[in-house]
């Protein structure tokens, strides 16, 4: 039974649009939302901007959690393409893999993916942070202008293509980097930032294991 | 020097309500005195308002302000005029730099700034009058010009180098979702792009759910004038076939065709119009040539346009100097195969000369 402070939605009986409509008319007193039995719906919680905690169980489809702000979202499953695109603020934690363009065009906020991500992770990102526990696909940080992308695993080809700002921290192998980025010395500020990112993502690691890649001339 | 500005051009509209505008329209028309207007219904779902003042003005906020100063119009008249434009369905803004097909949902319009290539914020989307996906290489540095903060529409660049119909359709749905399904969503694409990616755009358009299409500069995707000419010489028939197929399959989507490239010459424009002419009768159609000034074109350019229209060789004219389609249609004796197109445009762009 729902209490005034929590709301439970069953994605088996509600479409993504119905759930979104419900989310857009939330009562102010609700601070926790659980969406259960997600079976890869698209566009779920797009534009959600309420300061509350949302837990989703199951897999998400494409373009879910896009343009969100304020909310803390947790996905117990996988997600499709465009997860958290154009995010403004808040946080997203995904316990599985995600598709292409995870966190693309983000302006702020924090995304942690405990699995792998597809191509063009953090594409066009101009703010915010993304932590990937696994590996990322090709063209990671494509045209990134600001923010941080921290990758525990490997990266595909053309990492940092057309990147003009921001920072990549990567621990694993990189298939190829482009001429738009260059290795940088691990500074104390980088150590602190990596530590904070790991802390926010609930992960452990040693900052000195990460290489720092930045846009040429930045 | 007379500071002429390009005439306005029209664009697709959504559910025009003619009978609701009569009162305010009459007031505005009366108070504007000697200024004349022509409003023509050019298609079942598209209306066009052509304004011909002594000094042509753009129907943009700043240009309207110029007109207000020139003609001493009261703010009340301005609001009524704007209201008329809105209700008629939006005679629209057009310059070489700022071309758009924007139905005005509300007046005054909130113009949302867009930074970079990122998706607009939810607030921006909700305040937009229309959202236009521009199919193009958004990551190119020179595509900043495609993101106009002065337009009444938002533009979301779509990476044309990653064609994926399903994802594009989902992207459209995402924007609809973020706009609470209230803001018209359209796509702008280059007309002349018969590259693989360009053809993919056309195929997308026949499949996805869109409110309007803006066919942008036929040549904007090209690197040089010579490329453009080779481009059109290459396969205009294929281009026309694709466009017609698109419209046949997409039903009555409002279509605006905008030819805006500064180095558009008569031959190229003629080809573009020729291609556009095939759309007449299929869907709403509008063709505009909006170069950078409004000086009357030279005979040389006119001949070049005629050559292009008739499919002959180019006369290698210099850049066409800012004509309007109406002018050409009135001045040129076109091939009989373009009769339908001619009549449509003449009926549409009836200037009160």
Among A150, A43, A197, smallest CA distance to B181 is for A43
Q: Answer yes or no: do A46 and B174 touch at CB < 8 A.
A: yes
Mutation site for A-interface testing, chosen from B118, B126, B144, B170 by largest number of A Cβ within 10 Å: B118
Q: Answer yes or no: do B117 and A46 touch at CB < 8 A.
A: no
Tell me which chain A residues have a C-beta less than 8 angstroms from the C-beta of B117.
105, 124, 143
Helix axes B266-277, B225-234, angle to 10 degrees: 40
Report the range out of A26-40, B33-47, B191-205, B224-238 with the highest average pLDDT. Answer: A26-40
Chain B residue whose CA is closest to A122: B118
pLDDT in tens, B184-209: 666 655 444 445 555 555 566 656 66
Among B5, B103, B102, smallest CA distance to B52 is for B5
Alpha-carbon torsion (A191, A192, A196, A197), positive or negative: negative
Tell me which chain B residues have a C-beta less than 8 angstroms from the C-beta of A108.
none
Tell me which chain B residues have a C-beta less than 8 angstroms from the C-beta of A24.
180
Tell me which chain B residues have a C-beta less than 8 angstroms from the C-beta of A22.
none
pLDDT in tens, A60-100: 999 899 989 999 999 999 999 889 988 999 999 999 999 98
**Dihedral angle computed from the Cα positions of residues B168, B170, B175 and B176, in that order, rounded to the nearest 10 degrees:** 120
Candidates A42, A81, A145; nearest CB to B116: A145
Lowest mean pLDDT among A11-20, A34-43, B257-266, B283-292: B283-292
Q: Is B244 in CB contact (< 8 Å) with chain A?
A: no
Q: Answer yes or no: do A20 and B178 touch at CB < 8 A.
A: no
Give ipTM to 2 decimals. Answer: 0.85
Determine contact, residues B208/B200, Cβ cutoff 8 Å.
no
DSSP secondary structure string for all residues of B261-322: -TT--HHHHHHHHHHHHTTBTTB---EEE--S--PPPPHHHHHHHHHHHHT----------S
Regarding pTM above 0.90, the answer is no
Helix (H) or strand (E) holding B96: none
Lowest mean pLDDT among B120-129, B164-173, B314-323: B314-323
């Amino acid at each position: 039974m729902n209490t005034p402070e929590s709301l439970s939605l069953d994605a088996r009986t509600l479409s993504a649009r119905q759930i979104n409509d419900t989310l857009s008319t939330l009562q102010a007193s609700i601070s926790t939302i659980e969406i259960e039995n997600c079976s890869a719906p698209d566009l779920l919680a797009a534009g959600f901007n309420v300061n509350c905690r949302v837990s989703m169980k199951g897999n998400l489809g494409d373009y879910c959690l896009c343009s969100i702000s304020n909310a803390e979202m947790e996905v117990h499953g996988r997600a499709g393409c465009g997860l958290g695109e154009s995010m403004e603020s808040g946080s997203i934690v995904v316990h599985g893999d995600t598709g292409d363009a995870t966190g693309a065009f983000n302006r702020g906020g924090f995304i942690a993916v405990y699995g792998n991500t597809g191509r063009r992770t953090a594409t066009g990102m101009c703010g915010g942070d993304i932590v990937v526990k696994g590996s990322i696909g090709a063209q990671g940080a494509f045209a990134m202008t600001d923010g941080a992308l921290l990758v525990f695993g490997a990266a595909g080809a053309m990492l940092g293509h057309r990147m003009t700002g921001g920072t990549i921290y990567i621990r694993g192998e990189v298939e190829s980097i482009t001429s738009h980025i260059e290795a940088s010395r691990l500074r104390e500020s980088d150590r602190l930032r990596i530590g904070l990112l790991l802390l926010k993502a609930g992960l452990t690691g040693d900052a000195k294991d990460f290489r720092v890649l930045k846009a040429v001339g930045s | 020097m007379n500071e002429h500005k390009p005439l306005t051009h029209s664009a697709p509209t959504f559910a025009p309500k003619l009978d609701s505008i009569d009162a305010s329209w009459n007031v505005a028309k009366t108070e504007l005195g000697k200024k004349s207007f022509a409003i023509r219904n050019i298609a079942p779902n598209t209306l066009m308002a052509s304004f011909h003042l002594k000094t042509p003005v753009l129907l943009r906020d700043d240009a309207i302000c110029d007109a207000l100063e020139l003609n001493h119009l009261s703010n009340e008249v301005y609001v009524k005029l704007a209201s008329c434009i809105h209700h008629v369905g939006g005679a629209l803004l057009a310059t070489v730099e700022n071309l758009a097909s924007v139905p005005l949902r509300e007046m005054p319009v909130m113009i949302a700034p867009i930074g970079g290539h990122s998706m607009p914020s939810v607030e921006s989307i909700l305040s937009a009058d229309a959202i236009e996906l521009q199919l193009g290489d958004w990551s190119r540095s020179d595509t900043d010009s495609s993101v106009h903060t002065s337009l009444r529409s938002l533009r979301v660049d779509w990476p044309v180098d990653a064609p994926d119909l399903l994802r594009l359709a989902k992207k459209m749905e995402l924007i609809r979702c973020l706009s609470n399904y209230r803001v018209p969503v359209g796509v702008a694409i280059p007309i002349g792009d018969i590259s693989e990616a360009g053809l993919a755009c056309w195929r997308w358009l026949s499949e996805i759910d869109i409110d309007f299409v803006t066919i942008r500069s036929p040549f904007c995707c090209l690197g040089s004038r010579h490329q453009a000419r080779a481009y059109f010489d290459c396969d205009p028939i294929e281009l026309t076939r694709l466009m017609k197929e698109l419209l046949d399959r997409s039903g009555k989507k409002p279509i605006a065709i905008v030819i805006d490239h500064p180095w558009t010459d008569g031959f190229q424009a003629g080809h573009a119009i020729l291609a556009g002419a095939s759309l007449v009768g299929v869907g709403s159609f509008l063709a505009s040539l909006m170069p950078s000034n409004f000086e009357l074109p030279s005979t040389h350019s006119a001949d070049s346009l005629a050559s292009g229209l008739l499919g002959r060789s180019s006369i290698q004219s210099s850049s066409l100097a800012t004509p309007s389609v109406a002018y050409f249609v009135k001045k040129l004796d076109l091939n009989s195969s373009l009769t339908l197109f001619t009549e449509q445009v003449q009926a549409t762009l009836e200037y009160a000369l």
